[in-house]
Amino acid sequence: MSFAASASTSGFASAARADGRGRARGAARGDSASARAVRKSVARASRKSVADVSSDADASEKTLKRSPSTMVTSVVEEEEDGLEHVYEKARWIDARAEFRPTQVALGWDWTFYKLSNFKDVESATAYMARKPIPYVKYRGLKYVVDHHHTLAALNLAGWDIDVYMEEIFEYDDDLTEEMFWGIMEGKGWSFCVDQDYQRLPPSAIPTSFELTAFRNDIFRSLGGFARKAKLLKRGKMLEEKLFFEFQWGYFFWLHRNDEYALWPSSQLQRGFNRLLTMIEQTDDSEYIGEGHLEASRDVRDMIFLSDVVLQPLYEVLVKYVAPLAYAYATLPTDEARFVPGLKKRFGRETLPGSVITGQGFDFLTERQNFTLPSDGKKDKKDKDKEKSKDKMKK
């Protein structure tokens, strides 16, 4: 998922209307109940037609015919804002020639997880019919502002299927590139930060959706899996959704070495780093190193590796970081919850959304008594914590 996580297209369209230069797309009028009913009928018919393809993936790939770009009304799921949305339809191979990313890094493992939606051409077609791509237009190119992980997964799978797009804004061609990227970053539509959360120039942004063109941000993947496991919950407002997994990924990255002493146990922190190393080595040996990804694009093989190796590792990793997330959530004041460096990178001082309790650790109610089975090592910090507890009891 992109920096915008799961922010709806309507949210981007609303934000676009606030910009003073260029043209925002999408009707700003309300809809009557009858008009919405007509559009929903058209949307249902449209979804049925685009998904009605052969279940035989190989045969379907050969027989699918290239169709000219057409305009379709919005799908029902994208009409929550009460506005009319009109999408362009194009084949993926045609669309990707004009598409440009707006961020430097992706969670590679989160992209592999999303491949389960692209196991064959039928499922890929149905999935993309529900995922319209919002973009801004500048000098003839379409700069995508959401669904980066989805498009990288589609590109990995290799299906040439219909994709749906909505132009939410068009910038004047005489705008300089420096000004264009400055506005994009200022609005949260571009994310020029690498896997170590260091800022890079816009020239570092890839020009295609080839996964190897992006930096691999394991912590962004962890943010996605933490939300999938229901440890983290996004808010409903757009500002709560933008950058959600990236912000929590930054938080986990920031505390990877316990520099801020927020881990409730050094055993947890050591276990977290051991698992992190395993994931890094798996990514390197199976995908990045020796050209594995370029040599084999068998989508079923990539899904299998994600299902049986990577996802189980992340499930355990989420259990390790749950007490860290709980520790953050139970800090006594908003000021105490200020995350160092968060405002510089994301424009806010505290993390968005909320931490859900009861997911494997009853840490909120038994915080002082939390322990893990000993691994035979005790750090000085652990001993100091035990002494402090003893003094408090006395």
pLDDT digits (tens, 9 = 90+) for 163-197: 999 999 999 999 999 999 999 998 889 999 999 99
Q: Does 277 have pLDDT greater than 80?
A: yes
Q: How far apart are CA 297 and CA 157, in angstroms?
A: 7
201 torsion bin: left (phi>0), alpha (psi -120 to 50), beta (else): beta
Give the mean pLDDT of 86-99.
94
* Per-residue model confidence (pLDDT) at position 328: 96
Listed residue (211, 220, 278, 272) closest to 244, CA to CA: 220
DSSP designation for 199: B
Q: Does 134 have pLDDT greater than 80?
A: yes
- Bigger pLDDT: 78 or 102? 102
Q: Provide the b/e sequence for 277-309 (b: ≥16 CB within 10 Å).
A: eebeebbeebbbeeeebeeeeebeebbebbeee
pTM, 2 dp = 0.76
Position 80 confidence tier, pLDDT thresholds 50, 70, 90: low
Token representation of residue 368: 């002082």
Q: Does 90 have pLDDT greater than 70?
A: yes
Strands of 145-251, DSSP E: 162-170, 215-216, 232-233
Position 27 confidence tier, pLDDT thresholds 50, 70, 90: very low
Position 74 confidence tier, pLDDT thresholds 50, 70, 90: low
Token representation of residue 393: 């009891």
Task: For each of the domains in the chain, give its residue range(s) and CATH number, in order of start.
Answer: 9-216 (3.90.1530.10), 260-393 (no CATH)
Listed residue (139, 119, 210) closest to 180, CA to CA: 139
Q: Does 372 have pLDDT greater than 50?
A: no
Position 299 confidence tier, pLDDT thresholds 50, 70, 90: confident
* Per-residue model confidence (pLDDT) at position 56: 38
Q: Does 263 have pLDDT greater than 50?
A: yes
Give the mean pLDDT of 284-312.
77
* Per-residue model confidence (pLDDT) at position 188: 87
Which residue type is seen at 390?
Answer: D
User: Which of these ranges, 3-17, 18-32, 185-199, has the smallest mean pLDDT?
Assistant: 18-32
The percentage of residues in the chain with a pLDDT greater than 90, rounded to a whole number, is: 58
> Looking at the DSSP assignment, which residues form a beta bridge with residue 134?
166
